[in-house]
Amino acid sequence: MDSSRLKNIDRFLGTPLIVLLGAWEWVRRLLSPARRRRGFDLSAPRRIAIVKTVAIGDVVQALPTVKALRGRFPHAHITFIVTPRVREVVEGLPFVDEVRYFDVFGAHGGISGVVRFARELRAQHYDMWIELEHYYRFTTILGYLSGAPVRVGFSIPGQVRRFLFTITAPYPTQKHELESFLSIARVLGACVEGASPVPIPASEDDARVAREWLAGAGAALPAAQRERGIVILHTTTSPIAVSRRWSADRWIELADRIAERYGLTAVFTGAPDEAADLRALASRTAQPSLVSAGALTLRQFSVLAGQARLMVSVDTGPLHVAAATGVPIVALFGPGDPRKWRPYGPGNAVVRAGLACSPCSTHYTGRISRKTCDDCMRAISVEDVLHAIESLPKGPPPLSPAGDAGAAHVVGQVGRLAGKDEAK
């Protein structure tokens, strides 16, 4: 079953199910005075389930909320329920006790799989179900079937999911997604002041692989070029978001202009199945470029991003993984809303054409643009991006002088970073 079919089932079957379950719950409360009088004890829940199923960017933006909830409930056993595709983002988080995977395209596929997963959840005896989804109905239904007496989620106008929540939080549509998620933590009494992006966990092994890849790839560069820093160019998106992509010719021109102006070597990053296309792209740059797609995992990519001088990216999940490392980022936005999905932090910049029809996606209502029209991306020029680089809050990257940060120097920095992460 593909994701579009699953969303249709969720919409057309989930909505009446929630209405029926909400009516059933209302009748139960009407017939049970004890149930009506039951309050919500938030003082010391023993077991908490926090739910955020997809996708990489969403889960990365939700991590500060999960961390804040750990601070609010320090003694609770916290289970993070996600889908397997975000495994690298969540495994090893110090503020989560357990990760449970809802494998909707595998072991938990179909009605029988969902029922089985609901039974597994009910056996955990959760005291609180905290949902960080925007519009999916199946997670709300799972929360009700889990038996958790306290169920927390967003109250979004026009949605029926609120009928099954016992506590609701507003969803700020004009704020950054990281801050919107924090409204859930705030309504539960968590301290959210000063919340910032959380880097995904990277081990010493991840740093070693990044170190070895960079050393090997850098050794193939011309001798003079090995003495330069790197700029990450993330050009790709998932197949359902092709309208967020920028043309190959402009990426090539941008790589050449950055090399000429700042002396940086371009590293094209992406998923393993994009490696061949990225190698073809990199082969056309005037100065030799590198391609890490297929060679590094998401965690290893995050280590590499933390050592780059600069990143230029389209609107996609790895953008947020990199933003959590502190690398200066220039993000290209077309159909997406930069108010919600810009790289979080004061050291970054956004480039958008500002066409009247953009943004055309409001993901929190389930409306993801499937248009193949790329007018808003074609309207972004290479000069626009270079101007944004020059206008970065902390200034553009300094020119890489000879003998500065060659592959060996960057590799050393990667190793030191891993040592600091392991010490935490």
Domain ranges of the chain: 3-187, 204-423
Reduced to 3 states (helix: H, G, I; strand: E, B; else coil), residue 46 is: coil
Q: Residue 82: what residue type? A: V
Average pLDDT over every residue of 19-36: 80
Asked whether 315 and 334 are in contact (CB, 8 A), the reply is yes
Predicted pLDDT at 413? 39
Share of the chain above pLDDT 70, in %: 88
Predicted pLDDT at 241? 84
Per CATH, is 204-423 categorized as 3.20.20.70?
Answer: no
Domains 3-187 and 204-423 share a fold: yes
Parallel, antiparallel or unpaired: strands 150-155 and 77-82: unpaired
User: Cα(260)–Cα(256) distance, rounded to whole angstroms?
Assistant: 6
Tell me the pLDDT tens digit for each residue of 135-185.
899 999 999 999 999 999 999 988 999 999 999 999 998 899 999 999 999
Taken as a whole, the chain contains a residue count of 424
Per DSSP, the chain holds a count of helices (H) and strands (E) of: 16, 12
Q: Is the pLDDT of residue 411 over 50?
A: no
The tokens describing 212, both together, are 């070895």
pTM of the full predicted structure?
0.90
Q: Which fold has domain 3-187?
A: Rossmann fold (3.40.50)
Asked whether 344 and 178 are in contact (CB, 8 A), the reply is yes
